[in-house]
Structure 1
Amino acid sequence: MTLLAPTRGTHVVHRINPVTKLVASILVSIALVLSIDWVSATVALAAEFLLFPFAGLTLAQFFRRTAAVWIAAVLGGFTILLYGRPSGETYAQFLLVHITDGSIELAIATVLRVLAIALPAVVLFATVDPTDLADGFAQILRLPARFVLGALAGLRLVSLFAEDWRSLERARRARGVGDGGRIRRFLSQAFALLVLAIRRGSKLATAMEARAFGAPGPRTWARRSRLRGADAVLLALAVAVAVASVSISVATGSWNFIGGQG
């Protein structure tokens, strides 16, 4: 059984090491989770939108890949608006629903923070090849090679689940066993998919062991995972975004350290 061949882009962002992308998104996230305020999130989000055109995605690809983030941010903000901590003037109140100045400000901050944290992570990892990510984890972060390669193999097989599901559905209907109730059909087919996945995983594990993927000692790699100048630029930009968002928030008096929340 062979793994899927990696797809490699020509845009400069495709050549940035996946480990660098991970560290950059973590740096921005840490700065934003330290405070619940709209200023730091707005500054970070504005800087990120200036950088998104260089991420190697078209406008349609950007909104298609980040659609779930926008929906989650709006839903999260709406929940905070209705049930957030009340403070200031009250605009509406019904049972547990209490809309006030404080809940409105907190809802806005929540939406902006979710977008500022999740959007760059999604955009950066949209251009990450799983094989490159595994190479970076094993060669740069020095994670156990056996664990990394096993996770990579499993990730490569995830894309086959949808195809397996459709094949099972067609096969069961051809045998006349796919016309029952919707819930019963779903549970039965899900169990069949589970059995198929276990069998495929066992075969893959046996094949990898036969090829000495689990052998002790240092191993060689088909491709070297290196850090280049573009990686340093991305890290510098991430640090700049984090520092600017925190500094401007503190300077404007909007900094609201999350550890001080009662």
Structure 2
Amino acid sequence: MTGLIPAVRDSAIARVNPVAKLAVAVLISVTLLLSIDVVSASVALLLVGILLFWSGLDARGFWLRTAPLWLAAPFAGLTTVLYGEDSGAVLASLGFATITEGSLALGVAITLRVLAIGLPSIVLFATTDPTDLADGLAQVLKLPSRFVLGGLAGLRMVGLFVDDWRALGQARRARGVGDANFFARFCSQAFALLVLAIRRGSKLATAMEAKGFGSDLERTWARPSTVGRPELLLVLIGAGIAGVSITAAVLAGTWQFILA
């Protein structure tokens, strides 16, 4: 796991096979999508928050990685409050939108649900090295190696794109190109980055093809990807979070199966 910082690399969750992390994220997400209520989302968010203590992320790393989610969740809830289905007593009328007890409760439930679904997904994969994920997808889930290795190569290029964007910006500023108009500078620089990405992708594809990555023969792998007790324990914890959330909502009488 060379792509992770030492504190994260040595954490309990980081040592678990990425396939198990993927299974837990999917399990919790599917469970929370079955109903839109406050109780199940609140319970799941609380239990997931306890689980995240073993991720190895410090406070700065956690907030940096989850910042978009903390911005998107309230926005999704506010949109639901303003434009969601009206039910119950009217709390406020803004002319263009009406806030009722039902839309307010639905907005809170949506906010909590977005957080409960997004937080474990972000943090679990923040503790996953891309190479380990590719090994797990190919060896455990038996996905096509060409697809897995192509995705891994593309993921490894993300860091280079950031460096390329910075270098392009510095070069254009040194030549005095596009400084007067931010929108024009952004569009032209984005087009230059797209051209550079296509060229690099073509060269990378040719190099991988020359090294036999496109062969139909069964591949061998430098590092075996296995599942054992830690993976089983993490999946059981994820199943427990999903089960407790559903049980709490059913006992509280708030569970509403959306497919019913």
Both structures adopt the same fold (TM-score exceeding 0.5)? yes
Match for 2:89: what amino acid?
Answer: E
Q: How many residues align?
A: 257
Structure 1 residue 50 corresponds to structure 2 residue 53: no
Q: CA deviation at 1:86?
A: 1.1
Question: Pairwise mapping of residues 122-161 of structure 1 onto structure 2 (< 5 A)?
Answer: 122-161=122-161
In structure 2, the residue corresponding to 1:66 is in which secondary structure?
helix
Measured in 2, the distance between the counterparts of 1:236 and 1:131 equals 25
Change (3 A) 1:39 1:173: closer
Measured in 2, the distance between the counterparts of 1:31 and 1:216 equals 38
* Partner residue, 1:25: 25
* Partner residue, 2:120: 120
Runs of 4+ in 1 over 3 A off after TM superposition: 4-8, 173-180
Change (3 A) 1:172 1:64: closer
In structure 1, the residue corresponding to 2:99 is in which secondary structure?
strand
Match for 1:14: what amino acid?
Answer: A
- Decide whether the 8 Å contact of 1:41 with 1:245 is kept in 2: yes
Taking structure 2 as the reference length, what is the TM-score of the superposition?
0.94
Question: Pairwise mapping of residues 212-231 of structure 1 onto structure 2 (< 5 A)?
Answer: 212-231=212-231
> Which segments of 5 or more consecutive residues in structure 2 lack a partner in the other structure?
none
Measured in 2, the distance between the counterparts of 1:24 and 1:150 equals 25
Q: CA deviation at 1:170?
A: 2.4
Measured in 2, the distance between the counterparts of 1:137 and 1:87 equals 45
- Decide whether the 8 Å contact of 2:86 with 2:102 is kept in 1: yes
- CA RMSD, aligned part only? 1.6
Structure 1 residue 240 corresponds to structure 2 residue 244: no
Mean Cα displacement is larger for which, 163-172 or 132-141?
Answer: 163-172
Match for 2:31: what amino acid?
Answer: A
Taking structure 1 as the reference length, what is the TM-score of the superposition?
0.93
Change (3 A) 1:38 1:179: closer
Q: CA deviation at 1:5?
A: 5.7
* Partner residue, 2:169: 169
Change (3 A) 1:153 1:91: same
- Decide whether the 8 Å contact of 2:2 with 2:129 is kept in 1: no
Structure 1 residue 256 corresponds to structure 2 residue 256: yes
> Which segments of 5 or more consecutive residues in structure 1 lack a partner in the other structure?
none
- Decide whether the 8 Å contact of 1:83 with 1:96 is kept in 2: no
Measured in 1, the distance between the counterparts of 2:58 and 2:98 equals 41
- Decide whether the 8 Å contact of 1:169 with 1:178 is kept in 2: no
Match for 1:251: what amino acid?
Answer: L
Match for 1:47: what amino acid?
Answer: L
Between the two proteins, what is the percent identity of the paired residues? 53
